[in-house]
Structure 1
Amino acid sequence: MARSDSARDPGDLDALRAASDVLGIDALLSDDERGVRNRVRAFVDERIRPHIADWFDRAHFPAELAPALGELGLLGMELEGYGCPGRSAVQYGLAALELEAGDSGIRTFVSVQGSLAMGSIHRWGSEQQKQEWLPRMARGEVIGSFGLTEPTAGSDPSRMRTFARRDGEDWVLAGSKRWIGLASIAQLCVVWAQTEDGVRGFIVPADSPGLHITVLEPKLSLRASVQSELHFDDVRLPASAMLPGARGLRGPFSALNEARYGIVWGALGAGRDSYEAALRYALGREQFDRPIAGFQLTQQKLVDMVVELQKGALLALHLGRAKDAGILQPVQISLGKLNNVREALAIAREARTILGGNGVLLEHSPIRHAANLESVRTYEGTDEVHTLILGEHLTGIGAFR
């Protein structure tokens, strides 16, 4: 029997993390990358962890965090100019990981704001649109949302029914969008709609006459976030509302790939936090006169978690380096999203078993992460969608229809 006095201290989180980095991945990061990670980690420890169980329980999204996240340089983090931070892909990934270690809902906010809404305006908007919206969004003064998914068009956006028709110099928007993150607290939504000239994007102010927003509730996942349904009852928009550079599904898909990249990293945060909660609990919980961390089956569970976290971290870092080099391909993002979310969910579920009955209490994070990851697994492309993207890449045969 192993001596209990040689067990690691469950209160020494730095030592536990050092031991868990079996492959020495931390040494592959630059000082600047570690600096970004450490600042975001400290923010999560101070501003999110003490409150997240309550926010999740009350289904409350803390919109008051938006300016603080902007001040930290996390909104539109990879974008250049217009008051945006212009950070690297790896730095953004590390920030996403630390945010999701706090909660998927907080990382989702940064993704919707920065990758989807701001990213669409930055890439496809006019100079006037960029100047008008991006600096304020980067500061967290204006919140944006992204309207693509519809009640009858989730995984197949080519079937969207929302339509924008010309009426003189204006556009008139009619239709519905569903599962739109942040919409009920946002000041604008980037909405994608069919037109006679193909799919186009529009900046729709939240106070537009004819726009009706309904919060989707109650939810059992992403409770510290907000998702809504949007109904456009002949919403009239000026010509200047259209994103001039976007034509066809390439517009929204480019934003989706940015968001999917962030998920590759973010899911690791939920997985890591679940693992750490289980490890610390196992070191401190005694049964049969010893810490349960000393039992073989518990150690097997912990080892399996670390193996997948280490592999997932190497995958995320590889994709981040490729993105910074300008050679990252969408199919590679699909592989990363498919693998890391799937494994993070398995880790969260297994971590809960180590906590036993106590694991269903919100004071412990794994069950919350597991619930959240059910949504993360579904949005920005389901497992099935990413599997078929990879399948088409491997075989050359599209299997979507």
Structure 2
Amino acid sequence: MATATDGSSVIKPDHAAGRKHFIFSQEHEDLRESMESWVKREMWPHRNEWEDTYWPSEKMKRAGELGFLGLCFPEEYGGQGGDYFYSLVRAECMSYSGSGGTNMGFAVQTDMVLPPIHLLGTEEQKRKYLEPGLKGEKIGALGITEPGAGSDVAGIRTTAILDGDEYVINGSKTFITNGPRADFIVLVCKTDPSERHAGITLFVVDLRDENGEKVPGFTVSAELEKMGMHASDTGELAFEDVRVPADAVLGEVGKGFYHIAWELQGERLVAAAGSHAGCERMIEKTLEYAKEREAFGRSIGKFQAIRHKFAEMATKTEAAKQFTYATAWRFGNGEYPVREITMAKLFASRVGCEVADECIQILGGYGYMKEYEIERAYRDVRLNRIGAGTDEVMLDVIGRSYGL
């Protein structure tokens, strides 16, 4: 029960209470302070430059040196040995970069590529990919989507056919974040083209040799230009008779569909965390403007219509955050709440787009200009309703969970 802190009988509201949550310990908050400071110092000042040149790979290595990449991974592989909730802290801190593309490139490494290697990989695979990945010395990509198969993972056509003690990979992947620069890739392939779900296997595949040259048969067929996330390199990758040893299989042969389904749960939770954190940053920036911008003799924030916009945005953002935290608590404690994870990702992504739109409306013409940051956020955040499962797929997963 709340109590007065000044000795009086009047209990004053604590408007900062929403920033506190029981899933975070003091150690989590110490990390938050440290990483937020680093992001503001080493990423935020370069946000405009990276829109044209991509975020530099050296930043990944620096993050590894500081321990930010290995927060939730075992110390024996160079990680920090922390719990799952450090992933949420990292995602929220990255929102201060001002660059959705940078955030996405880092999230692919820490929350999409390395977790399945940690969970499913052999000791040799962990030493070869997980260790340098946590140091930022090697950058990874995740290869699921193809020109003809996105949400329908079982419909992929990239094949990996066993030939003696090697697999021969043929096919293409598209919309691959980090793809043009990646040193290795967790690749979803069909090892049995006659099957759908049961024919899928994961592989961890080198894309470059020790000298940084592309391996034989692998090409970046296109570097893709996107509506947003400009700081992130995204490519279409082609594999023509790329040979990998049989021990490149990640997990079990024929179980890849289920392995990638597990990976997507963590990816979606982190996407939800990034969405609500991004909303908070957009609201903060727009609130500054609303307090300073004057019209008809007073700041526009004093108009009821504007106050109500902030009230709506803040309420939905807080709801998204608290739902994400509650679901993350279950996931981080060993449960597998697919329905709620899907709901969190769906809701937070939609709120992100709503908040971006309303912030632009409040800024008016300035919101349409690049100098006010919201223009970029508006373009970047739109991907959240597509990546890691479109809204329509999320709705279908939720609906099916009720036996429909």
Same fold (TM over 0.5): yes
- Aligned position for 1:383: 391
- Aligned position for 2:10: none
Say which is worse superposed, 314-323 or 169-178, in terms of deviation: 314-323
How does 1:1-400 map onto structure 2 within 5 Å? Answer: 21=15, 23-26=17-20, 28=22, 29-56=24-51, 58=52, 60-80=54-74, 81-102=76-97, 103-196=99-192, 198-206=199-207, 207-245=214-252, 247-394=255-402, 396-397=403-404
- What is the CA distance between 1:319 and its match in structure 2? 1.6
Relative distance call for 1:203 and 1:299 in structure 2 (3 A) is: same
**Residues 273 and 366 of structure 1 are in contact (CA less than 8 Å); yes or no, is this contact kept in structure 2?**
no
**Residues 76 and 115 of structure 1 are in contact (CA less than 8 Å); yes or no, is this contact kept in structure 2?**
no
- What is the CA distance between 1:82 and its match in structure 2? 1.1
Relative distance call for 1:205 and 1:21 in structure 2 (3 A) is: farther
Distance in 2 between residues matched to 1:378 and 1:76, nearest whole Å: 27
Unmatched runs of 5 consecutive residues or more in structure 1: 1-18
**Residues 44 and 96 of structure 2 are in contact (CA less than 8 Å); yes or no, is this contact kept in structure 1?**
no
Distance in 2 between residues matched to 1:245 and 1:83, nearest whole Å: 25
- What is the CA distance between 1:355 and its match in structure 2? 1.2
- What is the CA distance between 1:64 and its match in structure 2? 2.0
Question: For each residue in 1:85-123, what CA deviation from the matched residue of structure 2 results, as whole angstroms up to 9, or x when unmatched?
Answer: 232222211210221342322221222112221112111
Relative distance call for 1:383 and 1:137 in structure 2 (3 A) is: same
- What is the CA distance between 1:393 and its match in structure 2? 1.3
- What is the CA distance between 1:27 and its match in structure 2? 5.4
Aligned residues: 377
Amino acid at match of 1:147: G
Relative distance call for 1:20 and 1:62 in structure 2 (3 A) is: farther
Distance in 2 between residues matched to 1:98 and 1:68, nearest whole Å: 16
- Aligned position for 1:11: none
Question: For each residue in 1:241-296, what CA deviation from the matched residue of structure 2 results, as whole angstroms up to 9, or x when unmatched?
Answer: 22244623011122121111111101112111111111001111112221111111
- What is the CA distance between 1:59 and its match in structure 2? 5.2
Distance in 2 between residues matched to 1:204 and 1:287, nearest whole Å: 59
**Residues 70 and 78 of structure 2 are in contact (CA less than 8 Å); yes or no, is this contact kept in structure 1?**
no
Distance in 1 between residues matched to 2:272 and 2:83, nearest whole Å: 15
Question: For each residue in 1:14-54, what CA deviation from the matched residue of structure 2 results, as whole angstroms up to 9, or x when unmatched?
Answer: xxxxx995653425442122112222211221112111123
Relative distance call for 1:289 and 1:333 in structure 2 (3 A) is: same
**Highest RCO, 1 vs 2 (Cα 8 Å, sep ≥ 6):** 1
**Residues 278 and 351 of structure 1 are in contact (CA less than 8 Å); yes or no, is this contact kept in structure 2?**
yes
- Aligned position for 1:8: none
- What is the CA distance between 1:301 and its match in structure 2? 0.9
- What is the CA distance between 1:223 and its match in structure 2? 0.6
- What is the CA distance between 1:199 and its match in structure 2? 1.1
Alignment TM-score, normalising by the size of structure 1? 0.89
- Aligned position for 1:10: none
Q: CA RMSD in A?
A: 1.8
- What is the CA distance between 1:317 and its match in structure 2? 1.4
User: Helix, strand or coil for the counterpart of 1:155?
Assistant: coil
**Residues 117 and 146 of structure 1 are in contact (CA less than 8 Å); yes or no, is this contact kept in structure 2?**
yes
Say which is worse superposed, 79-88 or 151-160, in terms of deviation: 79-88
Amino acid at match of 2:56: P
- What is the CA distance between 1:356 and its match in structure 2? 1.4
Say which is worse superposed, 169-178 or 357-366, in terms of deviation: 357-366
**Residues 189 and 202 of structure 2 are in contact (CA less than 8 Å); yes or no, is this contact kept in structure 1?**
yes
User: Helix, strand or coil for the counterpart of 2:242?
Assistant: strand
Unmatched runs of 5 consecutive residues or more in structure 2: 1-12, 193-197, 208-213
Distance in 1 between residues matched to 2:179 and 2:339, nearest whole Å: 29
Aligned sequence identity (%): 29
User: Helix, strand or coil for the counterpart of 1:363?
Assistant: helix
**Residues 251 and 259 of structure 2 are in contact (CA less than 8 Å); yes or no, is this contact kept in structure 1?**
no
User: Helix, strand or coil for the counterpart of 2:370?
Assistant: coil
User: Helix, strand or coil for the counterpart of 1:186?
Assistant: coil
